[in-house]
Structure formats: C-alpha cells, structure tokens
C-alpha cells in the first residue's frame, strides 16, 4: 500500500460521497446516469463546472487507465506535476467520452490532471492507504506533553502590572 497526497485522498472520499449521494438509498441508477450524462455533455461542449470532483464524477464511468503505476507516482503531489504526462496515462472511449476528455485536457489542464488522478484513486482504493488526517486522529496519540504544566503567571509577566514600577517613572 502506498500513501498519496492528503488532498487526493480527501478528493477521492468526496467523490465517493457525491456518487453515493447521487445514487441515493435505495440506489437509483436512472438519476445517476442522467447526472453523469449531463456532466459529460457539458464538459464535451467545452464548458462544465470548474471543480475537481465534478470533473472526476464525469470521468469515473468513462475513463480507462493505461498506467496505474505512473498514476500512483503522480498522486504523491497534488499541486505540481506535468498534466500531459497524466493525460497519456488514461483515455476515455466512445465519441462523447473522447470528446469530453479532449475538451477537459485542453481547457482545464491542471484541473483535469487532478480529476484524472482523483478518479483513478476512487476506482483503485485497494492500491493506496487513506491516511486519516482528522483532528480526532491527529490528537489520538497526543499525551499532552506540549501543554505547560505551570499555568500560573511568571514573575516577569506579573511584574509588568506591578504598581510599584509605575510610581518610579
């Protein structure tokens, strides 16, 4: 298992939540398909929402990954990376899918790079560790040693307010 950049793990969890929310309970595949088709159409026409998760949502059912190891390497850095390298590691098939992929990569290269990696991580959750960065998890092993044990004011601090010092001025 490999670690990925925390923002990619966050985006992948968000994508999962969006997909589950769109499917609903019980799952309604018709609503889900309508949402995906609307997103694909928007992006294929050169528009679409300027959002990593919406772009990944549009990609997730249309994309095929050609270089899983390369995408895992790219998932280590969220902000920097060569978009064209990532674009060569995946493809979308079908007329609408290919048109969408071309428009996304041309119009939103940085965002498309992040969305492709996010879709990859979502579809390949067994390849990486989702490191919990929540405050609860971060504080779990905190033994409190960074807290001052002496909560009283020091002599230096309380001397600032000593009435005797004011009279000497």
Residue-wise pLDDT tens digits, 130-150: 655 555 555 665 666 555 555
Is 153 inside a domain boundary?
no
SS3 162: coil
Tell me the pTM: 0.75
- Specify the DSSP class assigned to residue 128: E
Q: Return the pLDDT at 36.
A: 94
Domain boundaries, position 71: 2-127
d(CA 99, CA 43): 8
pLDDT tens digits, one per residue of 104-123: 999 999 999 999 999 999 99
| Residue 45: C-alpha distances to residues 13, 91, 92, 96 (Å) | 28, 18, 15, 10
Indicate the number of domains in the chain. Answer: 1
Is 108 inside a domain boundary?
yes
Contact (CB, 8 A) for 53 and 15 = yes
Backbone angles phi, psi at 129, to 5 degrees: -95, 135
Is 152 inside a domain boundary?
no
């Amino acid at each position: 298992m490999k670690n990925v950049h925390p923002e990619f793990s966050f985006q992948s969890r968000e994508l999962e939540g969006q997909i589950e929310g769109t499917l609903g309970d019980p799952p309604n595949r018709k609503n889900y398909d309508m949402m995906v088709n609307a997103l694909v159409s928007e992006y294929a026409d050169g528009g679409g929402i300027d959002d990593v998760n919406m772009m990944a949502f549009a990609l997730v059912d249309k994309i095929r990954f050609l270089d899983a190891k390369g995408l895992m390497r790219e998932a280590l850095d969220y902000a920097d990376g060569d978009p064209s390298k990532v674009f060569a590691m995946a493809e979308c098939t079908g007329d609408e899918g290919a048109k969408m992929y071309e428009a996304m990569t041309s119009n939103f290269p940085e965002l498309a790079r992040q969305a492709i990696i996010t879709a990859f991580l979502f579809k390949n959750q067994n390849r990486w560790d989702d490191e919990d960065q929540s405050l609860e998890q971060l504080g779990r092993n905190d033994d409190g040693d960074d807290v001052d044990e002496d909560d009283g004011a020091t002599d230096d601090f309380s001397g600032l307010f000593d009435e005797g010092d004011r009279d000497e001025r």
